[in-house]
Amino acid sequence: MPDNDDLTDGERFQTQVAARPHVNQLKGAGALDWGMQSRLARIFDPRTNRTVMLAIDHGYFQGPTTGLERVDLSIVPLLGFADALMTTRGMVRSTIPATSGVPIVLRASGGPSILKDLSDEQIAVAMDDAVRLNATAVAVQVFIGGENETQSVHNMTRLVDQGQQAGIPVLAVTAVGRELSRDARYLRLAVRICAELGAHMVKTYYCAEGFDTVTSGCPVPVVMAGGKKLSGLDALTMAYNAIEAGAAGVDMGRNIFQSDQPVAMIRAVRAVVHDSAKPEHAYEKFMQPTLHDN
């Protein structure tokens, strides 16, 4: 029986209290549609507006990479420590437990292998399949200065158009060809083009000189790519420096899953990213120096 009296006699309208506006603090996200903001908040922890994304998509162009031979054994135990997992739909469907709850950043471009020109990618996932997989975002490689620059940019802009319709954000991954230098001037150009053309977040490499200008000149969050395996302390130091220079987190692969202590390493990365822990402190707290680490 409906309680009609209660409908008319409510006393908690607090008419003197102004409606509380909520401002999304994530860079560039304030004017996005609710679904898009909600998905970004699953990737970037709203307490810090930063992310520890675990990148394991290497197989889509280079096959079973060291550390990813058995994703079920090496990666699944790490899922509870990752804010998001960057991977392919094949690996999601075959190996990642749907019950893990980890937000998926779905690799959505591909085509060439390491035996060919990597910049010759096309869109490799339909947006409705990304929706079916409950993807939190899609990721696309952009080759600024590469042989197929325009094609890769169009892959991104088409995914942005489709993502806008579905409410799914796009992570642009700036690929730096061997012939290009990873200096701040190049990285500024690459990330800015991606953001101007609609990417909701950009992944790029760290550079020691001027990385703050790369993040500052980009109106959406920049996450640092890990790159080749370094010593644990060097990788943590790079992550720390990137965060200090304005990065909104990391999207790190080999430096975590190729570590002899992957769980300790991802926990140390989390301390650097989310707690601004000094790299030496994070290393000492989580890593065991008795184990091999290089």
For the annotated catalytic residues, the residue numbers are: 203
Selected binder of ligand R5P within 103, 110, 163, 226 (CB under 6 A): 226
- Residue number with CB closer to ligand R5P (6 or 179): 179
Rounded CA separation 111/253 (Å): 21
Spell out, one character per residue from 28 to 67, where the chain touches ligand R5P: x when CB under 6 A holds, - when not: ---------------------------x-xx---------
- Residue number with CB closer to ligand R5P (168 or 252): 252
Under rule CB under 6 A, residue 201 binds ligand R5P: no
Part in contact with ligand R5P (CB under 6 A); list of ranges 5-13, 27-35, 253-261, 281-289: 253-261
User: What residue has token string 């325009």?
Assistant: 150
Under rule CB under 6 A, residue 91 binds ligand R5P: no
Residue 98 DSSP symbol: G
CA distances from 128 to 88, 121, 123, 162, 252 (A): 15, 20, 13, 9, 27
Three-class SS state of 221? coil
Under rule CB under 6 A, residue 227 binds ligand R5P: yes
Judge whether 167 and 36 are in contact, CB under 8 Å.
yes
**Strand (E) positions, 88-181?**
104-107, 109-110, 122-123, 137-142, 170-174
The number of beta carbons lying within 10 Å of the beta carbon of residue 63 is 11
- Residue number with CB closer to ligand R5P (32 or 68): 68
Give the residue from 137, 197, 139 showing the smallest Cα distance to 168: 137
Rounded CA separation 271/61 (Å): 31
Judge whether 95 and 59 are in contact, CB under 8 Å.
no
Selected binder of ligand R5P within 173, 190, 199, 233 (CB under 6 A): 173
Three-class SS state of 201? strand
Selected binder of ligand R5P within 108, 220, 243, 252 (CB under 6 A): 252
Selected binder of ligand R5P within 27, 42, 254, 270 (CB under 6 A): 254
Compute the least distance from the CB of residue 55 to ligand R5P, in Å: 4
- Residue number with CB closer to ligand R5P (227 or 246): 227
Element containing residue 262 per DSSP (H, E)? helix 262-275
Compute the least distance from the CB of residue 110 to ligand R5P, in Å: 10
- Residue number with CB closer to ligand R5P (226 or 232): 226
Q: How far is CA 36 from the centre of its chain?
A: 15
Spell out, one character per residue from 120 to 159, where the chain touches ligand R5P: x when CB under 6 A holds, - when not: ---------------------x------------------
- Residue number with CB closer to ligand R5P (32 or 56): 56
Interacting residues toward ligand R5P by CB under 6 A: 55, 57-58, 141, 173, 175, 225-227, 252-255
